[in-house]
Amino acid sequence: MNRSFRTLPALAFPILLFFSLAPLSPAQAGSLIDKGRKIAQEGNDLPGSTACMECHRLHGGGMPSIGSPRIAGQPRQYIEHEILGVKAGTRYAPIMAGIVNNLSEKDIQAVAAWYASVRTPKLRDVSPYDPDLVKLGKRIALKGQWKKNVPACVLCHGPQGRGIPPHFPYIKGQNKGYILRQLISFAFLKRSDDPQGLMRGIARRLSPTERKAVAEYFASLTPPPADGQPDRPSSGKDPR
Protein backbone atom coordinates (compact mmCIF):
# COMPACT_ATOMS: atom_id res chain seq x y z
CA MET A 1 0.00 0.00 0.00
CA ASN A 2 1.20 3.49 -0.81
CA ARG A 3 2.73 5.10 2.25
CA SER A 4 0.74 8.31 1.87
CA PHE A 5 -2.60 6.52 2.06
CA ARG A 6 -1.53 4.50 5.12
CA THR A 7 -1.03 7.86 6.81
CA LEU A 8 -4.35 9.38 5.77
CA PRO A 9 -6.41 8.56 8.88
CA ALA A 10 -3.88 10.11 11.25
CA LEU A 11 -3.55 13.27 9.17
CA ALA A 12 -7.00 13.98 7.87
CA PHE A 13 -9.72 12.39 9.96
CA PRO A 14 -9.22 14.38 13.20
CA ILE A 15 -9.43 17.69 11.38
CA LEU A 16 -12.68 16.92 9.57
CA LEU A 17 -14.52 18.21 12.62
CA PHE A 18 -12.88 21.62 12.85
CA PHE A 19 -16.11 23.39 11.92
CA SER A 20 -19.70 22.52 11.20
CA LEU A 21 -22.53 24.78 10.07
CA ALA A 22 -26.19 23.90 9.93
CA PRO A 23 -27.61 22.92 6.51
CA LEU A 24 -30.01 25.31 4.81
CA SER A 25 -33.52 24.57 3.61
CA PRO A 26 -34.22 25.29 -0.10
CA ALA A 27 -36.18 28.42 0.84
CA GLN A 28 -33.40 29.68 3.11
CA ALA A 29 -30.79 28.97 0.45
CA GLY A 30 -32.75 30.82 -2.24
CA SER A 31 -33.21 33.89 -0.07
CA LEU A 32 -29.57 33.97 0.96
CA ILE A 33 -28.37 33.55 -2.62
CA ASP A 34 -30.42 36.54 -3.75
CA LYS A 35 -29.08 38.67 -0.90
CA GLY A 36 -25.55 37.43 -1.53
CA ARG A 37 -25.67 38.37 -5.21
CA LYS A 38 -26.67 41.92 -4.27
CA ILE A 39 -23.80 42.24 -1.78
CA ALA A 40 -21.36 40.73 -4.28
CA GLN A 41 -22.48 43.19 -6.94
CA GLU A 42 -23.20 46.35 -4.93
CA GLY A 43 -22.02 45.95 -1.34
CA ASN A 44 -24.33 45.98 1.67
CA ASP A 45 -25.35 49.67 1.50
CA LEU A 46 -23.36 50.68 4.58
CA PRO A 47 -20.84 53.54 4.40
CA GLY A 48 -17.52 52.30 3.09
CA SER A 49 -19.04 49.08 1.77
CA THR A 50 -17.09 47.37 -1.03
CA ALA A 51 -18.69 44.99 -3.52
CA CYS A 52 -17.11 41.53 -3.50
CA MET A 53 -16.91 41.57 -7.29
CA GLU A 54 -14.29 44.32 -7.15
CA CYS A 55 -11.73 41.58 -6.46
CA HIS A 56 -13.52 38.24 -6.84
CA ARG A 57 -15.77 39.13 -9.82
CA LEU A 58 -19.50 38.59 -9.72
CA HIS A 59 -19.24 34.94 -10.70
CA GLY A 60 -16.25 34.18 -8.51
CA GLY A 61 -13.52 33.82 -11.11
CA GLY A 62 -11.10 35.92 -9.08
CA MET A 63 -8.38 38.14 -10.51
CA PRO A 64 -5.14 36.28 -11.21
CA SER A 65 -3.34 39.57 -11.92
CA ILE A 66 -3.62 40.53 -8.24
CA GLY A 67 -3.75 37.02 -6.77
CA SER A 68 -7.41 37.34 -5.82
CA PRO A 69 -8.72 33.78 -5.50
CA ARG A 70 -11.28 31.94 -7.55
CA ILE A 71 -14.15 31.20 -5.14
CA ALA A 72 -16.86 30.07 -7.56
CA GLY A 73 -18.34 26.84 -6.28
CA GLN A 74 -16.30 26.61 -3.11
CA PRO A 75 -18.28 25.00 -0.26
CA ARG A 76 -20.61 27.46 1.48
CA GLN A 77 -19.39 26.38 4.90
CA TYR A 78 -15.79 26.88 3.89
CA ILE A 79 -16.38 30.39 2.54
CA GLU A 80 -18.23 31.37 5.73
CA HIS A 81 -15.47 29.91 7.88
CA GLU A 82 -12.74 31.80 6.05
CA ILE A 83 -14.55 35.16 6.16
CA LEU A 84 -15.12 34.72 9.89
CA GLY A 85 -11.42 33.86 10.21
CA VAL A 86 -10.47 37.13 8.56
CA LYS A 87 -12.74 39.01 11.00
CA ALA A 88 -11.24 37.13 13.95
CA GLY A 89 -7.67 37.71 12.75
CA THR A 90 -6.80 34.02 12.40
CA ARG A 91 -6.60 34.27 8.62
CA TYR A 92 -3.97 36.75 7.45
CA ALA A 93 -5.69 38.98 4.91
CA PRO A 94 -5.05 42.67 5.66
CA ILE A 95 -6.96 43.97 2.64
CA MET A 96 -9.94 41.70 3.22
CA ALA A 97 -10.08 42.56 6.92
CA GLY A 98 -11.14 46.13 6.24
CA ILE A 99 -13.89 44.91 3.91
CA VAL A 100 -15.43 42.00 5.83
CA ASN A 101 -15.58 43.93 9.09
CA ASN A 102 -18.43 45.79 7.43
CA LEU A 103 -20.40 42.55 6.97
CA SER A 104 -22.93 41.18 9.44
CA GLU A 105 -23.23 37.47 10.18
CA LYS A 106 -26.24 37.34 7.84
CA ASP A 107 -24.29 39.16 5.13
CA ILE A 108 -21.49 36.62 5.41
CA GLN A 109 -23.93 33.73 5.14
CA ALA A 110 -25.48 35.34 2.07
CA VAL A 111 -22.18 36.00 0.30
CA ALA A 112 -21.06 32.44 0.98
CA ALA A 113 -24.33 31.04 -0.37
CA TRP A 114 -24.04 33.13 -3.56
CA TYR A 115 -20.47 32.20 -4.39
CA ALA A 116 -21.05 28.54 -3.55
CA SER A 117 -23.89 28.51 -6.07
CA VAL A 118 -22.16 30.10 -9.07
CA ARG A 119 -19.80 28.71 -11.70
CA THR A 120 -17.48 30.34 -14.21
CA PRO A 121 -14.74 29.22 -16.62
CA LYS A 122 -11.15 29.36 -15.48
CA LEU A 123 -9.50 32.69 -16.19
CA ARG A 124 -6.10 32.98 -17.83
CA ASP A 125 -3.27 33.05 -15.30
CA VAL A 126 -0.63 35.76 -15.19
CA SER A 127 2.02 33.76 -17.05
CA PRO A 128 2.57 30.36 -18.72
CA TYR A 129 3.20 27.44 -16.39
CA ASP A 130 6.78 26.22 -16.05
CA PRO A 131 6.87 22.53 -17.10
CA ASP A 132 9.71 21.69 -14.70
CA LEU A 133 7.95 23.30 -11.76
CA VAL A 134 4.67 21.63 -12.70
CA LYS A 135 6.43 18.26 -12.70
CA LEU A 136 7.97 18.87 -9.28
CA GLY A 137 4.71 20.23 -7.91
CA LYS A 138 2.81 17.21 -9.13
CA ARG A 139 5.22 14.88 -7.35
CA ILE A 140 4.80 16.79 -4.09
CA ALA A 141 1.02 17.02 -4.51
CA LEU A 142 0.56 13.32 -5.18
CA LYS A 143 3.38 11.74 -3.16
CA GLY A 144 4.58 14.33 -0.66
CA GLN A 145 8.14 14.91 0.51
CA TRP A 146 8.42 12.30 3.22
CA LYS A 147 12.06 13.05 4.04
CA LYS A 148 10.81 16.48 5.12
CA ASN A 149 7.69 15.09 6.80
CA VAL A 150 5.50 16.68 4.13
CA PRO A 151 2.41 14.60 3.25
CA ALA A 152 0.81 14.57 -0.17
CA CYS A 153 -1.48 17.56 -0.71
CA VAL A 154 -4.22 15.30 -2.07
CA LEU A 155 -4.65 13.61 1.31
CA CYS A 156 -6.65 16.61 2.51
CA HIS A 157 -7.53 18.44 -0.70
CA GLY A 158 -8.72 15.38 -2.62
CA PRO A 159 -7.67 13.88 -5.97
CA GLN A 160 -5.86 16.53 -8.05
CA GLY A 161 -6.90 19.08 -5.42
CA ARG A 162 -10.63 18.79 -6.19
CA GLY A 163 -11.49 19.51 -2.57
CA ILE A 164 -13.33 17.52 0.07
CA PRO A 165 -16.52 19.49 0.78
CA PRO A 166 -17.38 21.12 3.02
CA HIS A 167 -14.15 21.26 5.00
CA PHE A 168 -11.36 21.37 2.45
CA PRO A 169 -11.48 23.78 -0.52
CA TYR A 170 -10.63 22.87 -4.05
CA ILE A 171 -7.27 24.22 -5.17
CA LYS A 172 -7.40 22.55 -8.59
CA GLY A 173 -7.39 25.36 -11.14
CA GLN A 174 -6.84 28.09 -8.54
CA ASN A 175 -4.55 30.87 -9.74
CA LYS A 176 -0.90 30.39 -8.87
CA GLY A 177 -0.38 33.79 -7.28
CA TYR A 178 -3.04 33.09 -4.69
CA ILE A 179 -1.81 29.56 -3.88
CA LEU A 180 1.77 30.75 -3.46
CA ARG A 181 0.70 33.68 -1.31
CA GLN A 182 -1.25 31.39 1.03
CA LEU A 183 1.69 29.00 1.39
CA ILE A 184 3.88 31.97 2.31
CA SER A 185 1.21 33.24 4.72
CA PHE A 186 1.09 29.87 6.46
CA ALA A 187 4.86 29.62 6.57
CA PHE A 188 5.91 33.08 7.65
CA LEU A 189 3.01 35.45 8.26
CA LYS A 190 -0.06 35.35 10.46
CA ARG A 191 -2.40 32.83 8.89
CA SER A 192 -3.28 30.44 11.70
CA ASP A 193 -6.71 29.06 10.82
CA ASP A 194 -5.37 25.66 9.78
CA PRO A 195 -6.57 22.84 12.05
CA GLN A 196 -3.82 21.41 14.26
CA GLY A 197 -1.33 23.76 12.59
CA LEU A 198 -1.00 21.26 9.75
CA MET A 199 -0.61 23.71 6.87
CA ARG A 200 1.81 25.91 8.81
CA GLY A 201 4.13 22.97 9.39
CA ILE A 202 3.92 21.80 5.79
CA ALA A 203 4.46 25.26 4.29
CA ARG A 204 7.50 25.91 6.49
CA ARG A 205 9.14 22.63 5.53
CA LEU A 206 8.82 23.30 1.81
CA SER A 207 11.59 25.25 0.12
CA PRO A 208 10.75 28.42 -1.85
CA THR A 209 11.08 26.44 -5.09
CA GLU A 210 8.83 23.66 -3.78
CA ARG A 211 6.15 26.13 -2.70
CA LYS A 212 6.23 27.72 -6.13
CA ALA A 213 6.10 24.29 -7.77
CA VAL A 214 3.00 23.26 -5.83
CA ALA A 215 1.32 26.51 -6.87
CA GLU A 216 2.27 25.97 -10.53
CA TYR A 217 0.96 22.40 -10.55
CA PHE A 218 -2.47 23.07 -9.08
CA ALA A 219 -2.89 26.26 -11.10
CA SER A 220 -2.12 24.36 -14.31
CA LEU A 221 -5.20 22.16 -13.84
CA THR A 222 -8.81 22.79 -14.82
CA PRO A 223 -11.12 23.67 -11.92
CA PRO A 224 -13.51 20.97 -10.72
CA PRO A 225 -16.55 20.43 -12.95
CA ALA A 226 -19.86 22.05 -12.10
CA ASP A 227 -22.73 19.64 -11.51
CA GLY A 228 -20.92 16.82 -13.27
CA GLN A 229 -20.17 18.86 -16.40
CA PRO A 230 -16.71 20.10 -17.45
CA ASP A 231 -16.05 23.82 -17.35
CA ARG A 232 -16.12 25.59 -20.66
CA PRO A 233 -12.74 26.49 -22.18
CA SER A 234 -11.28 29.64 -20.68
CA SER A 235 -12.20 32.81 -22.53
CA GLY A 236 -10.18 35.08 -20.27
CA LYS A 237 -13.41 36.88 -19.38
CA ASP A 238 -15.85 36.45 -16.53
CA PRO A 239 -19.51 36.30 -17.65
CA ARG A 240 -21.77 38.89 -16.06
Which region, left, alpha or beta, applies to residue 166 given φ > 0 means left and ψ of -120 to 50 means alpha?
alpha
3-class SS at 171? coil
For residue 115, CA distances in Å to 29, 76, 148 come to 12, 8, 36
Total residue length of the chain: 240
- Cα angle value 167/173/38 (rounded, 5°): 70
Q: What is the pLDDT of residues 134-173, one digit of tens each?
A: 999 999 999 999 999 999 999 999 999 999 988 889 999 9
User: Please, how many CA atoms are within 13 Å of residue 143, restricted to the half-sphere of its CB?
Assistant: 9
**Taking 50 as the threshold, does the pLDDT of residue 25 lie above it?**
yes
Q: How confident is the model at residue 15 (pLDDT cuts 50, 70, 90)?
A: very low
User: What span, in angstroms and rounded, lies between the C-alpha atoms of 168 and 158?
Assistant: 8
Within 10 angstroms of residue 139's Cβ, the number of other Cβ atoms is: 16
Phi, psi values for residue 229, rounded to 5°: -110, 145
3-class SS at 45? coil
**Taking 60 as the threshold, does the pLDDT of residue 235 lie above it?**
no
Q: Give the pLDDT score at 28.
A: 75
Q: What is the pLDDT of residues 214-230, one digit of tens each?
A: 999 999 999 997 544 44
Crossing angle (nearest 10°) for helices 176-188 and 208-219: 150
**Of 98-112, 184-198, 202-216, which gets the smallest average pLDDT?**
184-198
CA dihedral (82, 85, 87, 93) positive or negative? negative
User: What span, in angstroms and rounded, lies between the C-alpha atoms of 143 and 145?
Assistant: 7
User: What span, in angstroms and rounded, lies between the C-alpha atoms of 86 and 174?
Assistant: 20
**Taking 70 as the threshold, does the pLDDT of residue 42 lie above it?**
yes
Specify the higher pLDDT residue, 49 or 176: 176
Q: Which residue type, as a one-letter code, is found at position 29? A: A
Q: Give the pLDDT score at 94.
A: 86
Q: What is the pLDDT of residues 93-133, one digit of tens each?
A: 888 998 999 999 999 999 999 999 999 999 999 999 999 99
Q: What is the mean pLDDT of the chain?
A: 86
Q: Give the pLDDT score at 93.
A: 87
User: What span, in angstroms and rounded, lies between the C-alpha atoms of 201 and 192?
Assistant: 11
**Of 6-10, 34-38, 134-138, 191-195, which gets the smallest average pLDDT?**
6-10
Q: Give the pLDDT score at 24.
A: 67
Domains of the chain in sequence order: 3-15+124-219 (1.10.760.10), 20-117 (1.10.760.10)
For residue 204, CA distances in Å to 55, 101, 113, 132, 200 come to 28, 29, 33, 22, 6
Residue 150: DSSP 8-state: B
pTM above 0.95, yes or no: no
**Taking 90 as the threshold, does the pLDDT of residue 29 lie above it?**
no
Q: How confident is the model at residue 189 (pLDDT cuts 50, 70, 90)?
A: confident
